[in-house]
Structure 1
Amino acid sequence: MSTSQMLAPGAQSHPCFSPSAANRFGRIHLPVAPNCNLRCGYCDRRHDCVNESRPGVTSRILDPERALAHLGESRARMPFLSVVGIAGPGDPMAEPELTLATLELIRRHHPDLLLCLSSNGLGLADEVENLVDLGVDFVTLTINAVDPLIGSRIYDHIRLAGEIYRGVEAAGALLQRQIDAVVRLKARGVTVKINTVVIPEINDREVVAVARLAASLGADLMNLIGMIPVSGTPLEHHSPPTRSMLDALRTKAEEYLPQMTHCARCRADACGLTRDGADHSRAG
């Protein structure tokens, strides 16, 4: 049985959850989330970037109304679009009102499209009911560590309830909120994919533990992503994982969760077929 057959029926037309769908169906990411609620050592969000193809970059930020217009224009040019995702360039739950307003407009004007969200999980649990009410069926959650000591090497700080937390305390609080989010999402029947950014010599030995935890919580799929060294970040000089390392880790993690192997590492304003390569749309 294929991975997509084990997931919700909508996965058959979701290019990130089904390799076969990636050949026929497209996705559009709407960059309506400008800010983030934590600081990762590998991330540099850029709001006016047209030259890079990676998560966290976009040509511009859209407000909900402009995002709706951009979606309509894009569908007219690309009728094969099946999924609308909100994945940044910040975290969709850092300012949930922007994300929820956008999703409400999409559901009202484009009820046939699948709705998808990608988050670090820090603010996700509090909004699960709202997301489900708006018809979000697919959520991707990034979990990079289960050991707070290792997490403290990845995250500089988190912002929670107006307070800044750092170190092991921050990493531990983040993990607990990620766990809560997965539990609540699965209780409402949402398909959950776990992303893990693999950083050699930091969290590569955590991958199996993340897979084991995620499987115990009911997650459906896992996607291991090699860290991309980004200039200006704390990990800019850190070497990314080799293909052989990722392959070996996927084999081990697959004992607990099915593995996604066709990730395109899309921009926050990506639009089109994922297998077109480094495609993106200059949003708006």
Structure 2
Amino acid sequence: MADESYRETEIDGQMVKWDPDQIRKIQEHPCYSEKASHTFGRAHLPVAPKCNIQCNYCIRKFDCVNESRPGVTSVILNPQEALEKVRDIISQYHFIKVIGIAGPGDPLDNEETFETFRLVHEEYPHLILCVSTNGLLLPDKIDLLEKYGVTNITVTMNAIDPDIAAKIYQYIDFNGRRYYSGHEMGEILVSRQLDGIKKAVEKKMLIKVNTVYIPGINDSHIPEIAKKISEMGVFIHNIIPLIAQAKFAHITPPTMEEKLAMQERCKPYVRQMSHCQRCRSDAIGCLGKDINSCMGRKP
């Protein structure tokens, strides 16, 4: 990067070149830096129940407190309740540096997401705001995210080949129409994800891409994803082993050895996240050491 305001800094044993504000948002974000994950925490606000995509591996159930996986929460909060929850968290736990919205649906498909970000950003402008999305609406919502101070974005991207994507999703809802599995559906989703990532990088946002490792479906394709997102300026890549459920309940998930081998194949292209804990949509605390996933739970 040619910008003179950028400087080289070591993060987790690797040299990176970003501007000082971006470096802070890497060094204090537990998902973007393994070192940060031992020192700083995040709080997820479950304000976004609706989802515009049905993944073949996703089951979203509420009031299931013993499950630790994406798409699960014990309560849905409205924006004002979410702000009150942030106030409680920040007053008690000063190591919480990141406020994120990660569902349990797709945050960008819920207006409550943007109102929550607005309220939190106005009251706590120093906090890092983070969102996790399937990327379908990212090109349309990127300006709103920027307006409300969101700087870190996770996009779940399981394919860059539309025909492989078509095997992973049951349907997408886009522009008032439902597209079922097929090349057209896959093409819409992949093109929107890539366009959204491009726009976010242009705005100097920090991007993490999550890829679910699905044996027999996208396993041979994952290094191609890593190469593509590296070329686009994505900061870090998180390869997540499939949780065998829903339509993919019959697929045997990859072993830890297989996951590590896949990360080694992708590492030459893009930094790999090795400390993911597959957080719930209401997780609070350091990764793997949640304080109480049900803080603020309604009776």
Give the TM-score of the pair, scaled to structure 2.
0.90
Amino acid in structure 2 at the alignment position of 1:281: C
* 8 Å CA contact 2:101, 2:281 repeated in 1: yes
Structure 1 residue aligned with 2:125: 111
Structure 2 residue aligned with 1:40: 55
* 8 Å CA contact 2:283, 2:290 repeated in 1: no
- Matches of 2:73 and 2:107 in 1, distance apart? 14
SS of 2:288's partner is helix
Structure 2 residue aligned with 1:250: 263
Structure 2 residue aligned with 1:145: 159
| More contact order relative to length (CA 8 Å, sep ≥ 6) | 1
Following superposition, the deviation at residue 147 of structure 1 comes to 1.6
Following superposition, the deviation at residue 281 of structure 1 comes to 3.0
- Matches of 1:57 and 1:168 in 2, distance apart? 30
Name which of structure 1's ranges 165-174 and 32-41 shifts more when overlaid on structure 2. 165-174
Structure 2 residue aligned with 1:57: 72
Amino acid in structure 2 at the alignment position of 1:2: I
Structure 1 unaligned spans of 5+: none
Please give the per-residue CA displacement for 1:124-170, whole angstroms capped at 9, x wherever unaligned: 11111111121111000011011222111110100001100122211
Is the alpha carbon distance of 1:283 and 1:265 closer, same or farther for their aligned partners in structure 2, counting shifts above 3 Å? farther
2:273 aligned with 1:269, yes or no? no
Structure 2 residue aligned with 1:206: 221
2:39 aligned with 1:24, yes or no? yes
The correspondence of residues 143-222 of structure 1 with structure 2, limited to 5 A, is: 143-166=157-180, 167-222=182-237
The correspondence of residues 221-232 of structure 1 with structure 2, limited to 5 A, is: 221-230=236-245
- Matches of 1:236 and 1:121 in 2, distance apart? 24
* 8 Å CA contact 1:223, 1:259 repeated in 2: yes
SS of 1:225's partner is strand
Please give the per-residue CA displacement for 1:175-217, whole angstroms capped at 9, x wherever unaligned: 0000100110011000001100001111111100111111122
Structure 2 residue aligned with 1:132: 146
Following superposition, the deviation at residue 76 of structure 1 comes to 2.3
Is the alpha carbon distance of 1:219 and 1:107 closer, same or farther for their aligned partners in structure 2, counting shifts above 3 Å? same
- Matches of 1:273 and 1:2 in 2, distance apart? 18
SS of 2:247's partner is coil
Please give the per-residue CA displacement for 1:95-147, whole angstroms capped at 9, x wherever unaligned: 2x211100000001112210000000001111111111211110000110112
Name which of structure 1's ranges 178-187 and 68-77 shifts more when overlaid on structure 2. 68-77
The correspondence of residues 6-17 of structure 1 with structure 2, limited to 5 A, is: 6=16, 8-9=22-23, 10-17=25-32
* 8 Å CA contact 2:85, 2:295 repeated in 1: no
Structure 2 unaligned spans of 5+: 1-9
Following superposition, the deviation at residue 94 of structure 1 comes to 1.2
Number of paired residues? 281
Following superposition, the deviation at residue 275 of structure 1 comes to 3.5
- Matches of 1:124 and 1:242 in 2, distance apart? 32
- Matches of 1:196 and 1:70 in 2, distance apart? 30
Following superposition, the deviation at residue 278 of structure 1 comes to 9.3
Following superposition, the deviation at residue 283 of structure 1 comes to 4.2
Amino acid in structure 1 at the alignment position of 2:80: E
Amino acid in structure 1 at the alignment position of 2:93: M
SS of 1:234's partner is helix
